[in-house]
Structure 1
Amino acid sequence: MSTARAERLVNLVLALLSTRQYLTAERIRAIVPGYADAPSDEAFFRMFERDKMELRELGIPMETGRNSSFDPVDGYRIARRDYELGEIELAPDEAAAVGLAVRLWDSPELTGQAEAALVKLRAAGVEVDQQVPAPVQPRVRADASFGPMLSAVQQGRAVQFDYRRSGSPERRTRTLEPWGVVSWRGRWYVVGHDRDRNAPRCFRLSRVQGDVKLIGRAGAVQRPDGVNLLDFVAASGEPEFDAPASKARLWVADGKAAGIRRGARVIGRRTVAGIEGDEIERNVYYPDSMAKWIAGYGPDVLVLEPDVLAKAVHERLSALAHPGGDRR
């Protein structure tokens, strides 16, 4: 990805996140740095469509809607409830580690562009929500293989690369038809069809060794319909994915557990212990990892089915409540 495009995507995220209004494509073109360079309307709309697709591939939730019934076209925004992190409490040593990470990963170039975008938004009269503190904006350097993998996805080409599995120094050559590149919990993954195993897999980019080789003709790789890449990686639990999917039914408190909600299907409403929430259904690929993930949300998420998953979550919560004790 070019620096100019990366800066434009950052500007677009800030624009959509910093307003409560829905911004039309034409408004975005006028106020977001990077779009004014488009030589024609057609070129702008192609650029904007690619950027929207890119943000969705990265797991950034974009809403489409209109500010009133009189608006002739749809607009776009990013809802804070889906994007922001919840309240975080850090121990002193953890806070020091976060501060060091910010100093190491911060990019003066992108920071300057971000500030310029906010200034231009205010100058253009866009309503900026100043009552809520700004969300955490992680700045993480991409792995060396990020660019080639993303290029392969955009071109629809297969790739070959050497890969090191966790806990092993051995390298193995993989041939993958990539469907997309996503970020999950601070790490980048590529998801696609592994030709060597004839099955879907995801690979952590930090474990890719050496150069990534693009092979085959452009357009030969097509992403299957109905595949949620972020959900795929989140449910895998490990850098490689080989478990068949099953269904789980969960209760999630209103306004909580956005990560669990993403990729799930709402099937009803339910009240638990006097708290309103949604009943959702989602795929489970790796039950043990899913149990750890759900347990991390505490009382905000309750497993309704299957019983084996509910028991696994209960055991993990009991272990946290009674460390070293008898949990029978």
Structure 2
Amino acid sequence: MSSARAERLVNLVLCLLSTRQFLTAERIRSIVPGYATAPNDEAFFRMFERDKTELRELGVPLETGRTSTFDAVDGYRIARQDYELAEIDLEPDEAAAVALAGRLWDSPALAGPAHGALVKLRAAGVEVDEEQGRVQPRVRAADPAFAPLLAAVQAGRAVTFLHQRGGPGGEVVQRTVEPWGVVSWRGRWYLVGHDRGRDAPRSFRVSRISEPVTPIGPPGVVTVPAGVDLMTMVRRNVEPAPVSGTARVWVAAGRAHGLRRLGRILGPYQHGGRPGDELEMDLRGVDTVARWLAGHGPDVAVLQPPALADAVRALWVAAATPAGEPAEVPTGAP
């Protein structure tokens, strides 16, 4: 269906849904945008008949009748009680899915045309209940890379982009990915696909992908492998790993209160002449805990294990190294 015809059908539904009286074909022709392009009466009636057939095939309850005995010809309207959905009871997981969809469809892509159609109907004297008759599908995503990534998924094309690993200060790497989908997990968007450079499935947080996102290759080449569960892949990569031991960390006195809530204070401890406390923390993953600690700078020091100390040091060095220069990580405890 062409975009012009689709818009005309939407305008026709808005018109017939927003009036309680039967509207004749000539009346509809004068107030519904799209019919004015018909060169003559015969062309209009052919167009209108096709549109009525299309609406009925789509399940729209199109009524035919006359408002009063004085009307000479039949008119048309859509009975709202037959068109509107009945009361819907949703399970908790279904309600969560609807809420997510409501947050996604939230940018004025089609709001302008829909509102303009209602204004034209009202100006033509058609009774309009704007709150009930509004058609306003909209989509929003704050991350600039979201739209081009979604377009690549729909087109089945591979993409290249710059991706920052590990958050602010992390290494920026060029990636070439065959995108399988864009999914939301705990308020963040993730691209899931096959990373050609690592020859393995991977997920990437969309907020860490820099523009431009460049599609490469012909469309229709990328397909999602059978049996792939995109949400499971993201959840496996994002959720904390099972606890695999503990770490001992020094925290300066009066500092890093968030870390103190995550750990268990073992007692007072001095480090480099500074007073503080020794904490024991669950080591849910070296990289995860290292990111928690690195943001506190000199107010923390890793006592054990050495692998965690190296990971924190690497994050500090990456944050302090100018872009494009190699990062040299020294050894020794932070």
Greater RCO (CA < 8 Å, at least 6 residues apart): 1
**TM-score range, shorter-chain basis?**
0.3 to 0.5
- Greater radius of gyration (CA): 2
Structure 2-normalised TM-score? 0.38
